[in-house]
Chains A and B, each alone.
Chain A
Amino acid sequence: MVNFDILRSGSKNISFKLGGMIFLSVIVMAIFAPLIAPYSYDEMHISDILKPPSSKYLLGTDQYGRDIFSRIVYGSRIALKVGILVVIIETVIGISLGLLAGYYGGKVDRIISFITDVFWAMPPLVLALAVVTLLGPGLTNVMIAIAVVSWAQFTRVVRAKTQSLKNMPFVEAGRAIGESDISIMLRYILPNTMGAIIVLSTLALPSAILSTTAMGFLGLGAQPPTPDWGVMLSEGISYIGTAPWISIFPGLAIVYTVLGFNLLGEGLRDILDPRLKV
């Protein structure tokens, strides 16, 4: 899939470069968290509670005397894990529905499109809240909820691409040599939608991180003492008058990560599929 033209135009695209650098830094942070973080994420320094940023505690400590910096570094693991898993579930649902609707058309298309439109129109956070109410709070359930409510974009794009591809000569050729429908969808059509899917996934990841940290903030997602950035932020709210760093820094970590992925996605879109509307 990757060819040198893409890499060359990538090196010219500022948004792609900057986003890619941020992306790599977050990955490095997640992988080497134990090496980067000076303390463990749940280590309480009882004598050092609510300390402002200093050389000992780079970004200060929280109400239990835990090092904010270390918690943020470990938190990148949760953000990445959650983002990636959510996007995987989303793409699987979104792509299969999109392929089915676009390939078969007719009644199948009408039903899938109707469902997609309903999911597309509903505010995702409200739907996710409904699903979490049903499943109960917790990080896993939140991940399922976010994925279940945000696949519609993938279906819409894949459906449109499939519709335009299904009558192409190379697909007709596949049909002529007796390939099954599933094989045509997966081996002939899907590879040609990859550019759009890569772009959509890159942009779905930051929004998954935003949604899950929002759930954490609302107390419905990850539970303490997990160093989820949203949970950390909400824990700091009671201290914003005296120790604002507890809330500010985890938020900055979210902005940094989400911005990085958005830039990367935008850059990828310009390179892979400039006409894609997202």
Chain B
Amino acid sequence: MEYTIKRLIIGIFIVLAVTVILFGIMHAMPGDPIELLAGERVSPERIAQLKAQWGLDKPMYIQYFYWLSRIIRGDFGTSMVTKLPVIELIKARLPYTLLLTGSALIVQYIIAIPLGLLAALKWNSKIDRIVVTLSIVLWSMPNFWLGVLLMIIFGIKLNLLPLSGYSGLKSLILPLLTLSLPSLAGTLRLTRSEVLEVLREDYVLTAYAKGLPKYKVLIKHVLRNALIPVTVMFFLYLPWLIGGSVIVETVFAWPGMGRLLWKSITVQDYAVVQAIIFIIALLTVISNTIGDIVSAVLDPRIRESL
């Protein structure tokens, strides 16, 4: 409990650090948000008036607090391109991104853990070598290429699945595979190496020596311990997959936040870019904090540190 509270406080500090960085980046960006918003036909007096209204004539740190209080209320400003509130744009797309990344993460784990286990238990065998080689090949695949390949095979040649866009859950399959296949290599290798490491531990020998049958040793002592880091990584992967979703969503024209980010960068819609990056950072900090708390729940040694 105490650990959880400490961890949450640290999480809040990281979020604050991220907001400072983002605020800094926004100020370093070309053009003043008001000038960009107002265009050229506005008189200098009007601009000064707007600046005062938005607090842009105040010192930096005061501006920062204005800005912070706005984003806490969910006010990320207005998109220059669509003239819509940024928060509305994101609200419409975030569920699609979470659907894609969440299901990709689950599929990744469903495939990777049994394969990693198999490879570890059959260590140094043919099966092990095949699984490890497969994982290096997957790991080396750019997901934009894998996406195009899957599109050609399943969308065009076999005509089985929709090529792009979102038209029901069938559209999810290709983006999902594109996102999860390359990254499952990481989970697979982590599972394998952790199981191999635990198999060498003295307490596994102890478990055998007291007379536990093999399956109980494997489940209660090997898996229970080896899967701690694997479980924690589950939460740390989520932000990485959101990063990967920028490309996958772009390839498949998936109506999510990643594609919105890409489009906004290409048309220099800074308010949207800034908001999305802030949300991804926030999700990252939240998943890391959950990961830390989960690891403390699973491993009594961690509860004592920090």
Contact = CB atoms under 8 A, between A and B. Distances in A.
In the complex, A touching B, CB below 8 Å?
yes
Contacts of B141: 255, 258
B234 interface: no
A234 B151 CA distance: 13
A125 B246 contact: yes
B296 interface: no
A220 B263 CA distance: 11
9 contacts: A126-B277, A214-B144, A230-B142, A233-B145, A240-B148, A248-B149, A251-B145, A262-B136, A266-B136
Given A132-B265, A134-B25, A247 B244 contact: no
A24 interface: no
Interface of A: 114, 118, 121-126, 129-130, 132-134, 206, 210, 213-214, 217-220, 230, 233-234, 236-237, 240-241, 244, 247-248, 250-252, 254-255, 258-259, 262-263, 266, 277
Contacts of B281: 122
Interface residues on B, range: 35 or more
B273 interface: yes
Nearest to B155: A240
A258 B144 contact: no
A173 B268 CA distance: 56
A4 B141 CA distance: 34
Contacts of A126: 239, 242-243, 246, 261, 277, 280
Interface string B178-205: 0000000000000001000000000000
A244 B242 contact: no
B239 A133 contact: no
Given A133-B265, A133-B273, A251-B149, A240 B156 contact: yes
Contacts, number: 117
Nearest to A244: B152
B270 interface: yes
Contacts of A214: 142, 144, 247
B156 A123 contact: no
Given A126-B243, A247-B148, A255-B145, A220 B140 contact: no
Nearest to B145: A251
Nearest to B13: A114
A255 B240 CA distance: 20
Contacts of B36: none
B108 interface: no
A247 to B, nearest CB: 5
A206 B142 CA distance: 10
A219 B247 CA distance: 11
Contacts of A206: 140
B236 interface: yes
A248 B142 contact: no
B28, B141, B241 — most chain A CB neighbours (10 Å) = B141
B212 interface: no
A254 B265 contact: no
B207 to A, nearest CB: 25
Nearest to B185: A262
Interface string B266-306: 10101001000100110011001000000000000000000
Contact of B142 (A134, A213, A277): A213
A266 B262 CA distance: 33
A118 B28 CA distance: 21
A217 B147 CA distance: 12
Contacts of A123: 239-244, 280, 284
A114, A122, A123, A251 — most chain B CB neighbours (10 Å) = A123
A57 B48 CA distance: 62
Contact of B144 (A118, A129, A233): A233
Given A124-B243, A254-B142, A263-B136, A118 B29 contact: no
A218, A258, A277 — most chain B CB neighbours (10 Å) = A218
A266 B139 CA distance: 12
A65 to B, nearest CB: 21
